[in-house]
């Protein structure tokens, strides 16, 4: 008897946000029975994943979407980043990275989450064996030796679904992570990110800016219509105040902080704020279950790595399941301990490195005690002058370091 077919699904994905939906689509070539359970409708104003933020997609995320066949639609709605300019406000240190020097057509692509959501969601309906329940929430989980029973709460009431593997992709405050018995640590950065977009006098072209200031970093990313998306990270009280300012007052503050590298700012769009914390799951797998994306690692957005790291989780999980399918053919059990252990073994080091790297940047640039700022200047100069250092750095931030799964290399699963 085919063991996998005894359950409703091979895989249930808790959370149909940026990572959960991408995982559901990435699994399509494996012809499994997959359910995505998402709590908040995509069109809802309060959708927590596909919102007004902009995401800088790394090269490895680009390759993953290429391998999934979704890149033409995503790239049509994205702006390439060909240069990155990093500076420390009021100091002489600066650094830059250039796509030409790294021999790539772009260092990354900026896409608005809501737009990425439209592309991903519209692709779901074309996938055989993939069901989306939304709005629906996983509210309880019971794990047995051969299956997982998930209780789903929907507007019509509750129902139970069974699967071989439960994937927690329900974000940094993952409830499903708790339900499967994986604890997490959380360190508050005492910083919020205020996001929005603005029209600069000089078109940003394809340059992304990261400017470190005494109160926190500010990133300015090129988006469509010659506008720039800002991510302004600063203490919670200052962020709250920024949200109360008129558009003119806000634009003046932004200008003071970012400077005039892009000329005068005008026409600021809607603003929103996000409290920033580092969350880390104290384990990546439990019996018949796995945590991915922000449920495994919620990072500070300073280096624009959170989603990209999550996409490497997606690619590695798909690889582990695809390999097992090749070996086990009809009797594939997606939640087997062997698959999950391979996955955890593979992902641990990349996740640890990225957490350390991102957290390190926040702390290094947040420290204004002498001699740290002066050492930072020297570090940035050295970075700018030594191409080998830039190459290694760019390789890591583009998500191309270490052993890469098929999808991260642009190779389709089947
Ligand atoms: C300001 C800002 C800027 C950023 N910029 C970048 C960037 O440029 N590049 C980058 O790589 N990363 C960036 N990130 C990080 C990136 O946004 C996250 O890593 C990414 O959104 C994580 O996606 P996720 O699907 O894992 O989690 P989420 O986006 O949190 O989605 C989780 C989903 O699960 C659903 N859910 C929750 N509980 C349940 C439940 N019990 N049952 C069913 N569904 C449930 C939620 O409704 C939600 O849709 C940024 C983050 C911030 C805050």
Q: Which residue of 56, 196, 307 sits with most ligand 1 atoms within 8 Å of its CB, as the best mutation to test the pocket?
A: 307
Report yes or no on 291 lying in a domain: yes
Residue 315 CB burial class (10 angstroms; 0-12, 13-18, ≥19) = buried
Report yes or no on 270 lying in a domain: no
**Separation of alpha carbons 343 and 152, rounded Å:** 26
Q: Quickly list H helices, 216-294.
A: 236-244, 247-258
Nearest protein Cα to ligand 1, atom 1: 193
Those residues with Cβ within 8 angstroms of residue 386's Cβ, 6 or more apart along the chain or in another chain: none
**Residue with structure tokens 């053919």?**
329
**Separation of alpha carbons 401 and 355, rounded Å:** 15
**Separation of alpha carbons 59 and 79, rounded Å:** 13
The H or E element containing residue 177 is helix 175-179
Q: What DSSP string runs through 393-408?
A: HHHHHTT-SSSPPTGG
| CB-ligand 1 contact for 48 (6 Å cutoff) | yes
Instruction: Specify the pLDDT at position 226.
Output: 95
**Residue with structure tokens 């800016």?**
209
3-state secondary structure of 412: coil
| Helix and strand totals (H; E) in the chain | 11, 20
Report yes or no on 41 lying in a domain: yes
| CB-ligand 1 contact for 271 (6 Å cutoff) | no
Other Cβ atoms less than 10 A from the Cβ of 197: the count is: 22
Report yes or no on 221 lying in a domain: no
pTM: 0.95
- Of 260, 256, 262, the C-alpha closest to 229 is 262
Nearest protein Cα to ligand 1, atom 29: 49
ω into residue 371 within 30 of 0, thus cis?
yes
Nearest protein Cα to ligand 1, atom 37: 170
Nearest protein Cα to ligand 1, atom 49: 17
Give the C-alpha distances (Å, rounded to integers) separating 31 from 28, 125, 176, 292, 322: 6, 14, 25, 21, 10
| CB-ligand 1 contact for 399 (6 Å cutoff) | no
Instruction: Specify the pLDDT at position 91.
Output: 65
User: How many whole angstroms from 30 Cα to the centroid of ligand 1?
Assistant: 25
Instruction: Specify the pLDDT at position 93.
Output: 65
Q: Which structural domain range is residue 90 located in? A: 3-187+276-409
- Quick: pLDDT tens for 364-387: 777 777 777 777 666 666 666 777
In DSSP terms, 272 is beta-bridged to 195
Residue 315 contacts residue 400 (beta carbons within 8 Å): no
- Of 87, 22, 30, the C-alpha closest to 312 is 22
Residue 26 contacts residue 318 (beta carbons within 8 Å): yes
Report yes or no on 216 lying in a domain: no
Q: What is the mean pLDDT of each run of 10 residues along the chain (414 residues)?
A: 66 98 97 97 86 96 98 97 86 78 92 96 94 97 97 96 98 98 97 97 95 91 96 96 97 95 96 97 98 97 95 98 84 95 96 91 78 71 70 83 94 94
Edge-to-edge strands, sheet with 54-57: 54-57, 108-112, 79-81
- DSSP type of residue 367: -
Question: In whole angstroms, what separates CA 113 from the centre of its chain?
Answer: 10
Instruction: Specify the pLDDT at position 92.
Output: 64
- Of 48, 77, 74, the C-alpha closest to 61 is 74
CATH code where residue 316 lies: 3.50.50.60
Report yes or no on 167 lying in a domain: yes
Instruction: Specify the pLDDT at position 121.
Output: 94
Those residues with Cβ within 8 angstroms of residue 122's Cβ, 6 or more apart along the chain or in another chain: none
**Residue with structure tokens 């922000």?**
294
Those residues with Cβ within 8 angstroms of residue 132's Cβ, 6 or more apart along the chain or in another chain: 16, 24, 35, 36, 38, 124
Report yes or no on 194 lying in a domain: no
**Residue with structure tokens 């250039």?**
98
User: How many whole angstroms from 368 Cα to the centroid of ligand 1?
Assistant: 31
Report yes or no on 195 lying in a domain: no
Domain count, the chain: 1
């Amino acid at each position: 008897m085919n063991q996998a077919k005894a359950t409703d699904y091979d895989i249930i994905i808790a959370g149909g946000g940026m990572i959960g939906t991408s995982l559901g689509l990435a699994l399509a070539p494996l012809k499994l029975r997959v359910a995505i359970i998402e709590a908040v409708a995509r069109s809802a104003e309060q959708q927590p994943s596909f919102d007004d933020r902009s995401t800088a997609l790394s090269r490895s995320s680009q390759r993953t979407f290429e391998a999934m066949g979704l890149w033409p639609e995503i790239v049509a709605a994205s702006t390439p980043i060909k240069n990155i300019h990093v500076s420390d406000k009021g100091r002489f240190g600066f650094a830059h990275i250039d796509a030409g020097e790294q021999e790539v057509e772009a260092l990354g692509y900026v896409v608005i989450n809501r737009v990425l959501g439209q592309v991903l969601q519209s692709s779901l309906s074309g996938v055989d064996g993939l069901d989306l329940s939304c709005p629906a929430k996983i509210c309880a989980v019971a794990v047995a030796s051969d299956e997982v029973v998930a209780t789903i709460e929907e507007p019509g009431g509750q129902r139970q679904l069974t699967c071989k593997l439960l994937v927690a992709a329900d974000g940094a405050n993952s409830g499903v992570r708790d339900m499967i018995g994986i604890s997490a640590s959380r360190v508050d950065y005492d910083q919020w990110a205020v996001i929005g977009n603005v029209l600069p006098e000089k078109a940003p072209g394809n340059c992304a800016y990261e400017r470190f200031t005494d109160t926190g970093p500010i990133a300015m990313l090129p988006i469509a219509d010659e506008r720039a998306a800002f991510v302004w990270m600063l203490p919670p009280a200052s962020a709250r105040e920024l949200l109360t300012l008129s558009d003119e007052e806000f634009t003046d503050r932004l200008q003071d902080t970012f400077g005039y590298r892009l000329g005068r700012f005008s026409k600021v769009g809607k603003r929103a704020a996000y409290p920033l914390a580092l969350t880390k799951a104290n384990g990546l797998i439990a019996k018949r279950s796995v945590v991915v994306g922000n449920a495994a690692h919620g990072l500070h957005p300073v280096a624009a790595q959170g989603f990209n790291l999550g996409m490497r989780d997606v690619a590695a999980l798909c690889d582990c399941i695809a390999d097992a399918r090749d070996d086990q053919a009809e009797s594939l059990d997606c939640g087997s301990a062997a698959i999950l252990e391979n996955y955890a073994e593979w992902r641990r080091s990349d996740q640890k490195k990225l957490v350390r790297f991102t957290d390190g940047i926040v702390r290094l640039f947040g420290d204004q005690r002498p001699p740290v700022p002066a050492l930072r200047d020297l570090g940035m100069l050295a970075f700018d002058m030594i191409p080998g250092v830039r190459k290694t750095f760019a390789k890591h931030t583009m998500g191309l370091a270490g052993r890469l799964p098929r999808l991260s290399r642009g190779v389709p699963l089947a």
